[in-house]
Amino acid sequence: MKVRKLSSSDEVKKRKKAVLFCLSEDNKKIIVEEGKQILLGDIGESVEDPYACFVKLLPLNDCRYGLYDAMYETKETMKEDLVFVFWAPEGAPETSKMIYASCKYAIKKNFTGIKHEWQVKSLDEIQDRSTLANKLGGNVVVSLEGRPL
């Protein structure tokens, strides 16, 4: 997602901005959820607000893991950090919450560059950009994805 090297514009457009992971049907593997990703090339075309789009990808009644490549501005500079999101909404079945919680380390260890981990339990919490901004840098963050807080 976040690897930087000389790339053509087509390669950059195919890089992922956000992706969701779920458990396979038999609960034995963690897989990329089909159709639940945002590519950098989508931004400005089919996706106006990547963060709002990421939030809409989350199911209301089940758990997921997500990676989100957050771009934000502090009082000094622009930054980009990879955020691991553990989505466990209150309406999810207890067994799902337990299985996802027990597998969290297994998925996290496979990704390098994760700067922040965020466990989210409600839609209100994740829809509020300032909550993510606090995770990223507290009160020094002035905008997220180009939108002022």
| β-sheet bridge partners, residue 65 | 21, 86
Q: Give the pLDDT score at 3.
A: 52
Q: Give the pLDDT score at 10.
A: 76
Q: Give the pLDDT score at 12.
A: 75
User: How many Å from the N-terminal Cα to the C-terminal Cα in the chain?
Assistant: 25
Is residue 100 packed enough to be buried (19+ CB in 10 Å), middle (13-18) or exposed (0-12)?
buried
Q: Give the pLDDT score at 138.
A: 87
Is residue 132 packed enough to be buried (19+ CB in 10 Å), middle (13-18) or exposed (0-12)?
buried
27-58 b/e with 16+ CB inside 10 Å = b?
eeebeebeebbbbbbbbeeebeebbebbbebb
Q: Give the pLDDT score at 91.
A: 95
Residue-by-residue DSSP string for 87-106: E--TTS-HHHHHHHHHHHHH
CA dist., res. 3 & res. 112, Å (int): 10
Q: Give the pLDDT score at 8.
A: 74
CA dist., res. 98 & res. 7, Å (int): 40
Q: Give the pLDDT score at 48.
A: 93
Q: Give the pLDDT score at 9.
A: 76
Those residues with Cβ within 8 angstroms of residue 108's Cβ, 6 or more apart along the chain or in another chain: 84, 114, 117
Q: Kindly report whether the global pTM for this prediction surpasses the value 0.75.
A: yes
Mean pLDDT, the chain cut into blocks of 10 residues (149 residues total): 62 88 95 95 91 97 97 94 97 96 94 94 95 93 95
Q: Give the pLDDT score at 17.
A: 96
